[in-house]
C-alpha cells in the first residue's frame, strides 16, 4: 500500500514537472516568434529605407544643379533629356520604387523639373506648378530653406509609401531643387505574416517533439523498477529524437534550394571525423545530431535573401551570418539536449579568431564545432549546386590543407587527410573532373 502511494506521488510529481516544462517551452516558443517578428519588421523597414535613400542620393548625384534655373528660363536642352533618361532608368531598376520626381520648391508651390509616369499616376509636365496640399504644411519651411528632410512613412490615396526628399545643390552650395522618391511598402504585411506562420509551424513541431520526448521520459521515470523496459524505452526515445532531428534537418534543407541534402552530408562527414579522432560511439551520435541541426537558423532568413541568385549586399550577407545566433537561440531552450545548440552558433568560428559570431580561437572552440567546420567546408566545395558543379576533389583537399590553422582546426584537418589517404570522402562516381578554380572565384 505504501509503495502504491509513493508511486502515485511520484507520478503526480513527474506529471507536474512535465506540465511546467511544457509551459516553459510554450513561453520560449512565444518569445522566439515575437522577437523574430520584431526583428523582421525592423529589418524589412531598414532595408527598404536604405533602398530609397540610395535611390534618392543616386538620382541627386546625376542632376547638374547649375542647369536647373537655365532650363526654366531658356527651355529644355539635350542635357535635360539625357538626365531624364538616367532618372527614369533609376526608377525602373530600383526594387519597390514606385515614384520618382524632381521639384523646385518656391513659395507658390512645387515647380516640376522631372516627373515620370508610374502605374496609374500620369506624370506632370515640365514647369507645371503643383500647389502645396495639407501633407506639405510642416515641410514647407524646411523645403524653402533647402534643408535636409528625414525619410517619411505615409498611408494615403497613393498607398503605403516611404518618401524621401534629397536636396540638389548648385556649384555655390545652394539647394536648387529636391529629388522626391516614393517606395512602396505594399506586401510587407503579408510577407511578415507568412514569415511568422512559418516560424510558428516550426516552433510547434519543436514543441510537440519536446512534449513527446517529455512524455516518454515521464513514462520511463514512473517505471524505474522495470530495468529491461526502461532500456527499451530509452532506445525508442533515441530513435524518436533522431527522427525529430532528421525531420528538422529536412526542413532546413528544403528552406535553402541551393544546398539540398547539405545537413545530412555534413552529419555523415562529422561521424567519420569524430571516429577518426577517437570519439566513442555515444559522442559520435551526439555530434551527428548536433551536425544535423547546425544550420537551423536558416529558417529565420527570408527566402529572397537565402535563395538569391545574384551577389548579396552587405546587409543581406549580414542577415545570412545571423543564422548562427538565431539557430542558437532556437536550440538553447531544449534542456534535454543542451549541447545541440553548440554547433548552430560556433560552426563558422575560426582558429585564427576571424570567424563569427563570437570570434573564438581554436582553443576556445568546442571540438564538435571544429569538426563540423571542416565537414561543412568540404561539402560546400564538393557538392553540386544548381548554379555550379562541385569542385575537383584534389583541389578541395588542397584548399583544406591551405586553410589549416587559419580557417580550420589543424588537428581536424589532419584527421581529414588521414581519411582521404584511406580512400574515404571521395565520391565513388568521381571521375576526376570538377572545377579547379580558386575558392574566391567559385564564391563569386
Residue 443 has pLDDT above 80, yes or no: no
Question: 164: exposed, middle or buried (C-beta count within 10 Å: 0-12, 13-18, 19+)?
Answer: buried
Region 223-233: what's the mean pLDDT?
54
- DSSP conformational letter for 67: G
User: Does residue 167 register a pLDDT over 70?
Assistant: yes
Phi, psi of 408 (to 5 degrees): -125, 150
The answer for residues whose C-beta is within 8 angstroms of residue 149's C-beta and 6 or more apart is 139, 142, 143, 164, 165, 178
Q: What is the pTM of this model?
A: 0.46
List helix spans (H) across 382-409: 393-402
Overall average pLDDT of the 369-377 stretch: 92
- Reference 210, options 241, 256, 239; nearest CA is 241
Which residue from 339, 330, 310, 355 is spatially nearest to 39, judged by alpha carbons? 330
Q: Could you say which DSSP state residue 311 is in?
A: P
Residue 110 pLDDT exceeds 80:
yes
Asked if residues 363 and 351 have their Cβ atoms less than 8 Å apart, the reply is: no
Laid out side by side, the sheet with 129-130 consists of: 129-130, 109-115, 97-106, 175-184, 159-169, 152-156
pLDDT tens per residue across span 172-218: 999 999 999 988 877 666 666 676 677 767 777 766 766 676 666 66
Q: How far is CA 270 from CA 128, 186, 260, 267, 278, in A?
A: 69, 45, 17, 5, 12
How far apart are the C-alpha atoms of 128 and 253, rounded to whole Å?
A: 56
Amino acid at each position: 500500500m505504501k509503495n502504491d502511494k509513493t508511486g502515485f506521488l511520484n507520478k503526480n510529481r513527474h506529471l507536474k514537472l512535465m506540465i511546467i516544462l511544457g509551459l516553459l517551452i510554450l513561453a520560449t516558443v512565444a518569445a522566439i516568434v515575437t522577437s523574430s517578428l520584431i526583428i523582421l519588421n525592423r529589418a524589412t523597414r531598414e532595408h527598404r529605407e536604405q533602398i530609397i535613400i540610395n535611390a534618392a542620393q543616386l538620382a541627386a548625384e546625376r542632376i547638374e544643379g547649375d542647369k536647373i534655373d537655365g532650363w526654366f528660363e531658356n527651355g529644355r536642352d539635350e542635357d535635360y533629356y539625357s538626365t531624364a533618361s538616367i532618372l527614369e532608368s533609376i526608377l525602373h531598376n530600383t526594387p519597390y520604387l514606385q515614384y520618382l520626381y524632381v521639384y523646385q520648391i518656391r513659395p507658390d508651390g512645387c515647380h516640376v523639373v522631372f516627373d515620370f509616369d508610374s502605374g496609374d499616376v500620369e506624370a506632370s509636365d515640365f514647369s507645371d506648378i503643383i500647389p502645396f496640399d495639407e501633407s506639405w504644411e510642416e515641410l514647407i519651411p524646411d523645403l524653402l530653406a533647402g534643408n535636409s528632410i528625414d525619410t517619411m512613412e505615409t498611408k494615403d490615396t497613393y498607398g503605403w509609401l516611404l518618401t524621401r526628399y534629397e536636396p540638389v545643390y548648385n556649384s555655390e552650395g545652394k539647394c536648387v531643387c529636391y529629388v522626391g522618391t516614393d517606395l512602396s511598402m505594399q506586401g510587407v504585411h503579408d510577407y511578415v505574416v507568412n514569415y511568422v506562420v512559418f516560424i510558428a509551424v516550426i516552433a510547434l513541431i519543436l514543441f510537440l517533439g519536446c512534449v513527446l520526448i517529455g512524455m516518454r521520459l515521464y513514462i520511463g521515470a514512473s517505471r524505474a523498477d522495470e530495468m529491461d523496459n526502461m532500456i527499451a524505452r530509452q532506445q525508442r526515445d533515441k530513435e524518436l529524437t533522431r527522427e525529430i532531428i532528421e525531420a528538422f534537418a529536412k526542413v532546413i534543407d528544403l528552406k535553402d534550394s541551393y544546398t539540398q541534402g547539405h545537413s545530412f552530408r555534413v552529419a555523415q562527414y562529422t561521424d567519420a571525423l569524430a571516429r577518426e579522432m577517437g570519439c566513442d560511439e555515444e559522442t559520435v551520435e551526439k555530434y551527428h545530431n548536433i551536425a544535423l541541426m547546425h544550420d537551423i537558423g536558416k529558417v529565420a532568413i527570408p527566402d529572397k535573401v537565402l535563395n538569391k541568385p545574384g551577389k548579396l549586399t552587405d546587409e543581406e550577407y549580414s542577415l545570412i551570418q545571423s543564422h548562427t545566433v538565431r539557430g542558437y537561440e532556437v536550440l538553447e531552450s531544449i534542456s534535454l539536449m543542451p549541447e545541440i545548440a553548440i554547433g548552430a552558433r560556433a560552426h563558422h568560428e575560426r582558429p585564427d579568431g576571424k570567424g563569427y559570431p563570437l570570434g573564438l580561437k581554436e582553443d576556445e572552440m568546442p571540438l564538435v564545432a571544429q569538426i563540423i567546420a571542416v565537414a561543412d567546408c568540404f561539402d560546400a566545395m564538393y557538392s553540386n549546386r544548381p548554379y555550379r558543379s562541385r569542385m575537383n576533389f584534389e583541389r578541395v583537399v588542397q584548399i583544406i590543407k591551405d586553410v589549416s590553422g587559419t580557417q580550420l582546426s589543424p588537428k581536424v584537418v589532419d584527421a581529414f587527410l588521414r581519411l582521404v589517404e584511406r580512400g574515404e570522402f571521395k565520391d565513388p562516381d568521381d571521375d576526376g573532373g570538377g572545377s579547379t578554380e580558386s575558392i574566391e572565384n567559385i564564391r563569386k
